[in-house]
Structure 1
Amino acid sequence: MSRSLPQNVIAHRFGVVVVYVGLLLALTFTTRTPVAGQNPVSTPVTVDALNPIPINSLFDLPFLWTGALYPQPQNYVSLVVTFVSPSGTTQSVIGVYEPPSLWRVIFFPGEMGLWSWYGIFTDGITLQEYRGTFTVVDAPTPIPRPSPAPSIVFDPNSIQTRTVRDDMRTATREAALEQITPTPTGAELINLSVPAYSVIEIPFTWRSGVYTNPHEDVVVSAVFTSPDGRSYNIGGFHYAANDYRVRFAPTVVGEWVWNVRIGDGTQNRDYSGTFTVTESSSAGFVRQNPANPMRWVFDNGEPFYPVGLGDCILDRDEDDTPFNEMGMDGPLRPPVGERITEQDRTGNRVDMETYLQTYGAAGFNLFRVSQNNCAFGLFGRISPEGNTYRLREGRWGDELLRMLRENGFRVYMVLFSFSPPYPNGAENPEEMAAIHRAVEYIVNRYGAYVDFWELMNESRAPSDAWYRSVVEHIRRIDPYQHPISTSWERPDLPFIDITSPHWYERESALESDLRTVQEIARYTSFGKPIIFGEQGNTGQNWDVTSARRMRIRLWTAFFNEAVFIFWNTSHAMDYLHPSAANIYLGAEERAYVRVLQDFTQMVDQDAVIQSVRVSHPELARAYALQSPSMAAAYIVAALDQTNPTRDLTITLNVPVTGAAVWITPATGEVIGLETVTAGIQTLVVPDFTIDAALMIR
C-alpha cells in the first residue's frame, strides 16, 4: 500500500537536512505532567499547556506504554517528538525507555512565543498520535541550560541512556531552517526547499527487534528523480532500534521526486514525496580536473588544492565518545619514568570541534577517515551468513563526517582496514556478495558526505579480480561516482583512479625537495592523480628540522602536482616509531600551510608544470607552474639553509605581462616585487634563506 506522509524538517548548518517521515503524530505537551494512557488507539490525543513556560527551562515529558507486552520494549517501541518554534524552526527528540512502562522526552524551549509540537508513539504496527501547543515566556531569573541542548537517545547496545551531540543545533546556526508549518491532517506533503548538495536524510519507523539481523532482514530502497528526468538509486541503512534511514545529496536545481520502499519481503510500505533544490554556495563534489588530470576541481569548476590530515580517533577513556581526545599542540614530555602529570602521560588533548576549527583555519582541507586504523570500526561482521554493523560506531561516523564538512574538510574514506574481507573470495559468489553488501552499507550511509573512496589500508588482495569486482560494484551503486583509490597503491589497475602511496622518511632538509620529487616520479608514468595517503617522519614525529622538512616537502609536492595527507600525531612531540613515526603539526607547521594555501588561491585550475632553469643549480633547485594567465615558481636552497642564498637568477616562460611578487614561504612576507613582460625571461632571485616562492599575474 502506498501512502504519502507529512514531513518535518531540520536544517543543519552547511546544508545538512533531516526529513522525518511517518504518520503525523501530535504529542500532548503538558508542563511536567505525564500524559497518561494505556496502549494507544487510533484517535489523536491533543492537550495544550495552560500555563506559560519559562524560556530554556527543562521539560521532562513522560508517556505511558505497557512495556510488559514486549520482550525488549526498547527495541520494539519508539517515541519521537517534534517541537516547532514560533519562528518555524523544528527540533526532534527521541524518547528514552525507563522500565517498566515509561518513555521520556527531554526538551529545552529556547525561543519565546507560541510553540506547537507533534510526534509518533509506535511499535511498528500500532500507532498513537499526540499534538499540542504551549507558550514560552521570558524567565524571571536566568535558568541554566546546556549548550547546545542535548538530544537523549537510547542506545540498544547498552542498558544505560546516553547524551549525544544535538544534531538539531543548527536551527540557530548558519544553515537557517525554511519556514515550515506541519500538516495537521497528515494528508499532505510539505514541500521542502534545500540548496544543492545539501544532505537530505529521511528516517522511517519500522520495528526492528523482531528480526534476527535487523541490518539485512529489512531492506530500504530509494529512487530520487531529478528535474531533468535522471534517476538515482540509493539504499537505506539501520540507524537505531526501529529506525531506518535514507540519505541523499541532490546536485541539480529544480523539483525532485523521491520514492522509498521499506520492508522485509513479506510486508512492504511505499512512500513518496517531492522537494525543491535551489542554487547553492557549495562548490560540489571533488572531481578529476579535465584541464589537468593530475589535479582536482569541484563540480562548479573551481580548483581544489588539498592539504590533508589523518589521525587517531578512539574512545580511549571509554566515555562513549571518541571526539574529546584529539592530540594537538602537545609538549616535548619528560622521559617515561619521570612523567607525573596527566599531560605528561597523555600529552595535550582537545575536542574534535576545536581540532578541526584550528587545522581548518590553517588551510588543511582534506581528512582521511581510515576506520579500524587507530580509529573506531564500523563493521560488526562481514559474512555470507549475514553482515552486521555497529550501531554506536555508525552514529560516530555520521557525526564525524558532519563535523568535517561543517569545518570545510573534504572526506577521503577508507572502506576496509588492513585486512580486506575474503581477499581470496573473487571466485566465491557468496563471499563477494557479503563484501558487496558491506560496500553498499558504507556508500548508502556516508556517500553523500564523501569525496574519495579508498578500498583498503596498507594491504593487497592477491587477485586483481577482487579489486575489479569491488570497484565495479561501487560504480554501480554510488550515485555520486566518487573517484576510487586503494592502499597499498595499485596504479597499474586501469579501474583505479588514484595512486595512493605512503611515505615516511627522516631525510636531510637539504634533500627534502629532491626526495619528494623522487617519490612522486615513481608514479607519474601511470598518468593518474597522486595522493600520498600517509606522509610523515621515521624515528620520531618531531625534531628540530621536521617543520622545515614538512614545509619543503609540501611546497615541492604542490609544484609537482601531488597531494600529501599527513598522519598527524600532535598530542606530544616525542612519539617514537622506527618506520612510521607520523608527524607533529603544531602552530609553526600550521602557519606554513596557511601561507601555501594563500598562495594556491592565485594558481589557476589549468596550470601545469613548466620548465625553469637556475643559474647555479649547485646552490638551489627550482620548480615552476604556468597557465595562460599566470606563472609561479618555487626555489629551495640545496647547499646552505642557514645563511642567505645570493646572486641567483631563474629563467622561465612568462605567459603574460604582470607583477612578479616574491615571498618567503615561512611567513608570506614579500621579499621582492617587479613588473615583467611576457616571454622567456630571466629574473633575479632576491636573497633568501631556505626557500622562496614567486607569483606572476
Structure 2
Amino acid sequence: MVHRIIVINCMVLLTAISASCQSVKADQVWKAQGSNLEVEYRQNTKAVPQYEVFEISFKHENEYVNPFFDVTIDVIFTSPSKKQLRVGGFHYGSSSKPSINKRKTKTDKGERQQISYDFDKQDMWKARFAPSELGKWKYDFVLRNVNGKEVSGSGVFNCVKGRKPNPGFIRRHPTNPFRLVLDDGSPYFPIGLQDCWGDNSGSGSVLDQCSMEGPFRTDRKEPPPLPPGPLFVRGPSENPQNADVYFRRFSQCGFNLYRFSQQNCSYQIYEDLDNYLVQEGIMTDELLCCARKYGFGVFYGIFGYKKVFNGDPYNKAGLAKVKRFIKYSVDRWGAYVDFWEFLNEQKADDRWYEIMVPYIKSIDPYHHPVTTSWERPELDGIEINAPHWYQRENEFESDAITASRAKNWKKYNMPVVVGEQGNHIDKRKPQPPGVGGVWDDRSALRMRIRNWSALFNEIVFIFWNTSYARDGHFMNIWLGPKEREYVRAMQDFAYYLDKDVRMVDVKVSQPKAVRAYGLASKKCAGVYLHHFSSHTKPLKSLRITLDIPAAAKGYWYCPENAAILKTVDVSAGANRLEVPEFTVDIAFLVTQAGPPDIDKDGRPNNLDTDDDGDGVPDKEDAFPLESQEWRDKDGDWIGDNLDADDDGDGVADDWNKNGIPDYEELDIDGDGVDRAKSVPWDVFPLDPKEWRDTDGDGIGDNSDLDDDNDGYSDQEERKRGTNPLDKLSFPT
C-alpha cells in the first residue's frame, strides 16, 4: 500500500464526529398535551432548502406492545399556495442507543455471527417531508394511540432556495419517454451501482464495512490454477473499507444512482409483516443519507426477496399488512428515494399489482416512479421497465447485443433501468483459467462498450458490484479503478449533452467494420463508433455523415481516457466528417459549451497534463482519470492505495515495518480513528490530518472552508451562531 503521508503515533482529539448523515436537531422543544397523552416534539430546522428533508421528532414515554402500530401520526403540510399534502409519521426507535449483543451460531455453512439490538425504551417517532415550493409552510399533526387517545400540535418553517440548490428528485422526461430529468429541469444520465450490506462488525451500522477491489482469493479450497501475469495473483485484500471511501470513489467517477432493497444480499428490515426491526430501520436511514450525501439518486426496493402474498391477492388480511409496510416505507423513506421497486426477481399475480400500484401512488406525496422485478412493463401504473441482464458476450458484439436488447425493452414506451447488470458464467461448466464469475481481463472493456451503447440507446445500467475478490460468485461484476476511469470518461462526455437529446441516424463509410450510434437535440449532438471487426488493428480512412443541429465545435473524444483527439468546425445540416484513426471505439461531441474539461480546472483535456487533478501528471499516473489512485506498482489494475500487496508477490505489505500486515492495521495513518469496524470511522484512512468529511465533497473538514456545503463558510456560521456541520443550520 502506498500512502500520501504517514505519521505513526499521531493522536488527535475527536469532537462531534457524526457517523450518520442525519442533521443535528434544533434546540427548541414544544409540548403537546391532550387525552392524558404527553408528547414533546421538535423540528430539525426552521428553514429548509428546497427538496432537502424537514423532520419532526416526537418523544412519547408511554409503553406499547408494538410501537410501530400502536401509535399513528398524521401530518398535514400546507404550502405557501395553500395546497395540502398528507404525510404519515413512523416509529423511529429510542432516544437512547441500543445494547448490542453478539453470539456465534453453527449453521450448515459453518459458524455465523448473530447480532441483536436491545433498547431500554421505545420513545421516538418521526415525520419527514421534502418541500418543493418556496415560502412559508405550516404543518398540523395528530398523534393517536391504540387506546383511542390523541394529541395534536402544529408548527411552521420556511422553504428557501439555498446557496447550493438541490436539483430535486428524478423524474420522467416530459416529452421523451425514455429519458430522465431532475425536478429543476436539468438532464440526468444515470449509471447505477448496488452492493451487499450488513452490520458485520456488530457496531449498529452497515457503513463501517465495505468491500472494494480485492484480488483472487487465498482461502479457497483446491483453487484452480491461474494464468501467468500480474492480473492473476492470489493475495490479501485491503478490506474492509468504509462507506465514505466507497461512495466517494464511485461518485467521483460519475456513478450517480444507487439501488438497495432489503434481504437482497442485505439485512432484513422486518422479521415478518407484524414485527418491524428498529435498528435495521435506522441503518437504512443512514445508508440512504450517505448515498444522497455523495450525489446518488436512490432506487429503493421495498420487499426484495420477501414473500408478501404475491400469489394470494384475495387474502385481505395479508394484503392489509403488505399495505401497512408500504405506507411505513413511503412515510419513512419517501423523502430520500427517487424510485419505488416493489419486488426483486419475483413473480406476483396481476391482481396483486392492481391493488398495490394504485395504493402506493395514492399515499406518495412525491409521485416517485414505480417499478418491480421481475419486470412487468405491460401493467397499468408501472412507469419504469426494470429487467435484469447478466452476460459474458463476445466483446465485438457488446454494442450490438446492448442495442438489440434496448430496442426490445423500449417497446413499452417508458424509461428502461436495467436493475441488475454484470457478468455471468455457467458454474456447471469448466471455465478458462483466470475467469471468475465477476471478472476476467476483458470485463472492463466489455463494460465500457456496453455503457456507451446504453447511453446512445437511451437505457440505464445498474451494476451489481461484487469486488471483494476477482473469483467471487458466478455472476455480478468486479469494479476497480480501470472500470471507474471508463465510467468517468463517459459521464464527462454525457455532461455536455442536454436533456432533449434523442437517437438519430449516423452513416458510416465502412459498415462492415464499424457500428455507429447517434444522439442529437436542437443544440448539441453526439456519436459513438465501435470498431467491431478488430480491437487490435487501427482503423483508418473512416468517414461518417451526420446532421448537425447548429454550427458549433466538434470534438473527437477517446472513451478510454477522455482525450480530445481532434477539434473541427461543423455547420448546421448534413456534415461529412473524417474520423481520426482509432482501434476499439471513439466518440464525437458537438457542443457550443466549449471543449471537455474532465476535472473542471479551466483547462480542456487536450491541454491539461493532470486530468484527474491528483497532482500526478497523466504521463506518470497509472490511473489518470481516478483521482484517488496514481500508482500500480505490480500492474494488477488495483491502485496501490487500496492494494494490500503492491508488488504482487502474494505476501501482504508491511509499509511501516512493524511486523503487522498493513491490511490488518485499522489505523494505518495513526490519527486515532480506525478505517473500519468502528463508529465513527476514518473517512480518509491514509491521511493523518483528516478523518471526517461532513458534506462528502472529498475535502476533509479540517481543510474545508464550508464543511456542510450549505454555501456559508464555517467562519461565517460561527459568527452568526449556526452549526457549520449541519447543512440545515445556516444564517437566515
When residues 511 and 184 of structure 1 are mapped into structure 2, their CA distance, relative to the original with a 3 A threshold, is: closer
Residues 153-206 of structure 1: per-residue CA shift (max 9 Å, x gap): xxxxxxxxxxxx3556x67xxxxx9xx875899999998111111111111112
CA drift of 1:632 comes to 0.7
Match of 2:375 among 458, 469, 489: 489
Mapped partners of 2:384, 2:31: distance in 1: 52
CA drift of 1:362 comes to 0.7
Q: Which amino acid aligns with 1:565?
A: I
Matching residue of 1:433: 320
CA drift of 1:334 comes to 4.0
Query: Residue 551 of structure 2 contacts residue 571 of structure 2 at CA under 8 Å; is this kept in 1?
Result: yes
Query: Residue 253 of structure 2 contacts residue 487 of structure 2 at CA under 8 Å; is this kept in 1?
Result: yes
CA drift of 1:147 comes to 5.1
Residues 406-462 of structure 1: per-residue CA shift (max 9 Å, x gap): 11101000011124301133222222111100100111000100000001000110x
Match of 1:559 among 433, 440, 456: 456
Match of 2:139 among 258, 261, 264: 258
Mapped partners of 1:181, 1:219: distance in 2: 25
Match of 1:675 among 569, 591, 596: 569
Q: Which runs of 5+ in 1 are unaligned?
A: 1-141, 151-164, 172-176
Matching residue of 1:355: 246
Mapped partners of 2:31, 2:476: distance in 1: 58
Mapped partners of 1:574, 1:633: distance in 2: 35
Query: Residue 234 of structure 1 contacts residue 444 of structure 1 at CA under 8 Å; is this kept in 2?
Result: yes
Matching residue of 2:621: none
Q: Which runs of 5+ in 2 are unaligned?
A: 1-9, 33-39, 94-121, 224-233, 426-436, 592-732
Match of 2:441 among 541, 544, 547: 544
Matching residue of 2:610: none
1:60-139 equivalences under 5 Å are: none
Residues 327-346 of structure 1: per-residue CA shift (max 9 Å, x gap): 1121233472489xxx9577
What secondary structure sits across from 1:402 in the alignment? helix
When residues 683 and 223 of structure 1 are mapped into structure 2, their CA distance, relative to the original with a 3 A threshold, is: same
Query: Residue 376 of structure 1 contacts residue 393 of structure 1 at CA under 8 Å; is this kept in 2?
Result: yes
CA drift of 1:257 comes to 0.6
Q: Which amino acid aligns with 2:364?
A: D
**Normalising to structure 2: TM-score of the pair?**
0.68
When residues 676 and 538 of structure 1 are mapped into structure 2, their CA distance, relative to the original with a 3 A threshold, is: same
Match of 1:364 among 246, 250, 255: 255
Mapped partners of 1:506, 1:677: distance in 2: 41
When residues 270 and 336 of structure 1 are mapped into structure 2, their CA distance, relative to the original with a 3 A threshold, is: same
Query: Residue 263 of structure 2 contacts residue 306 of structure 2 at CA under 8 Å; is this kept in 1?
Result: no
Mapped partners of 1:482, 1:198: distance in 2: 16
Residues 137-163 of structure 1: per-residue CA shift (max 9 Å, x gap): xxxxx995335446xxxxxxxxxxxxx
When residues 145 and 492 of structure 1 are mapped into structure 2, their CA distance, relative to the original with a 3 A threshold, is: same
Mapped partners of 1:308, 1:695: distance in 2: 23
What secondary structure sits across from 1:293 in the alignment? coil
Asked if 1:145 corresponds to 2:13, the answer is yes
When residues 226 and 184 of structure 1 are mapped into structure 2, their CA distance, relative to the original with a 3 A threshold, is: closer
Asked if 1:474 corresponds to 2:368, the answer is no
Matching residue of 1:616: 510
Query: Residue 609 of structure 1 contacts residue 626 of structure 1 at CA under 8 Å; is this kept in 2?
Result: yes
Matching residue of 1:278: 160
What secondary structure sits across from 2:313 in the alignment? helix
What secondary structure sits across from 2:450 in the alignment? helix
Mapped partners of 2:167, 2:209: distance in 1: 31
Query: Residue 208 of structure 1 contacts residue 214 of structure 1 at CA under 8 Å; is this kept in 2?
Result: no
Mapped partners of 2:288, 2:513: distance in 1: 46
How many pairs does the alignment contain? 522
When residues 184 and 440 of structure 1 are mapped into structure 2, their CA distance, relative to the original with a 3 A threshold, is: closer
Query: Residue 467 of structure 2 contacts residue 477 of structure 2 at CA under 8 Å; is this kept in 1?
Result: yes
Bigger share in strand: 1
1:302-317 equivalences under 5 Å are: 302-317=186-201
Q: Which amino acid aligns with 1:146?
A: L
Asked if 1:414 corresponds to 2:301, the answer is yes
When residues 250 and 691 of structure 1 are mapped into structure 2, their CA distance, relative to the original with a 3 A threshold, is: same
Matching residue of 1:399: 286
Q: Which amino acid aligns with 1:221?
A: D
Mapped partners of 1:674, 1:208: distance in 2: 73
Query: Residue 283 of structure 1 contacts residue 302 of structure 1 at CA under 8 Å; is this kept in 2?
Result: yes
Match of 1:297 among 176, 181, 199: 181
When residues 469 and 670 of structure 1 are mapped into structure 2, their CA distance, relative to the original with a 3 A threshold, is: same
Mapped partners of 2:277, 2:516: distance in 1: 50
CA drift of 1:208 comes to 4.9
Mapped partners of 1:283, 1:637: distance in 2: 38
Mapped partners of 1:425, 1:235: distance in 2: 27
CA drift of 1:556 comes to 0.3
Mapped partners of 1:185, 1:549: distance in 2: 60
Query: Which has more radius of gyration?
Result: 1
When residues 183 and 451 of structure 1 are mapped into structure 2, their CA distance, relative to the original with a 3 A threshold, is: closer
Matching residue of 1:590: 484
Matching residue of 2:337: 450
Matching residue of 2:92: 239
CA drift of 1:320 comes to 3.3
When residues 213 and 194 of structure 1 are mapped into structure 2, their CA distance, relative to the original with a 3 A threshold, is: same
What secondary structure sits across from 2:92 in the alignment? strand
Mapped partners of 2:535, 2:41: distance in 1: 71
Query: Residue 331 of structure 1 contacts residue 347 of structure 1 at CA under 8 Å; is this kept in 2?
Result: no
Q: Which amino acid aligns with 2:175?
A: A
Matching residue of 1:127: none
When residues 586 and 166 of structure 1 are mapped into structure 2, their CA distance, relative to the original with a 3 A threshold, is: closer
Mapped partners of 1:590, 1:167: distance in 2: 25
Matching residue of 1:205: 59
1:7-86 equivalences under 5 Å are: none
Asked if 1:528 corresponds to 2:382, the answer is no
Of 250-259 and 423-432, the range deviating more from structure 2: 423-432
Q: Which has the higher contact order (CA 8 A, sep 6+)?
A: 2
Residues 193-225 of structure 1: per-residue CA shift (max 9 Å, x gap): 11111111111112353x222110111111111
Mapped partners of 1:345, 1:434: distance in 2: 46
Mapped partners of 2:16, 2:583: distance in 1: 48
Mapped partners of 2:149, 2:314: distance in 1: 34
CA drift of 1:523 comes to 1.5
Residues 236-279 of structure 1: per-residue CA shift (max 9 Å, x gap): 11111111111111110011010111121522110101111111
Mapped partners of 1:586, 1:284: distance in 2: 30
Q: Which amino acid aligns with 2:512?
A: E
Mapped partners of 2:302, 2:134: distance in 1: 31
Matching residue of 1:505: 391
Q: Which amino acid aligns with 2:367?
A: Q
CA drift of 1:357 comes to 0.7
Percent of residue pairs bearing the same amino acid type:
38
CA drift of 1:673 comes to 1.5
Query: Residue 20 of structure 2 contacts residue 289 of structure 2 at CA under 8 Å; is this kept in 1?
Result: no
Mapped partners of 2:31, 2:532: distance in 1: 76
Q: Which amino acid aligns with 1:671?
A: L
Of 482-491 and 347-356, the range deviating more from structure 2: 347-356
Query: Residue 523 of structure 2 contacts residue 549 of structure 2 at CA under 8 Å; is this kept in 1?
Result: yes
Q: Which amino acid aligns with 2:339?
A: F
When residues 430 and 653 of structure 1 are mapped into structure 2, their CA distance, relative to the original with a 3 A threshold, is: same
Query: Residue 542 of structure 1 contacts residue 583 of structure 1 at CA under 8 Å; is this kept in 2?
Result: yes
Match of 2:539 among 645, 669, 678: 645
What secondary structure sits across from 2:539 in the alignment? coil
Query: Residue 218 of structure 2 contacts residue 236 of structure 2 at CA under 8 Å; is this kept in 1?
Result: no
Matching residue of 2:590: 696
What is the root-mean-square deviation in Å for CA atoms of aligned residues?
Answer: 2.3
CA drift of 1:368 comes to 0.2
Q: Which amino acid aligns with 2:157?
A: F
Residues 21-60 of structure 1: per-residue CA shift (max 9 Å, x gap): xxxxxxxxxxxxxxxxxxxxxxxxxxxxxxxxxxxxxxxx
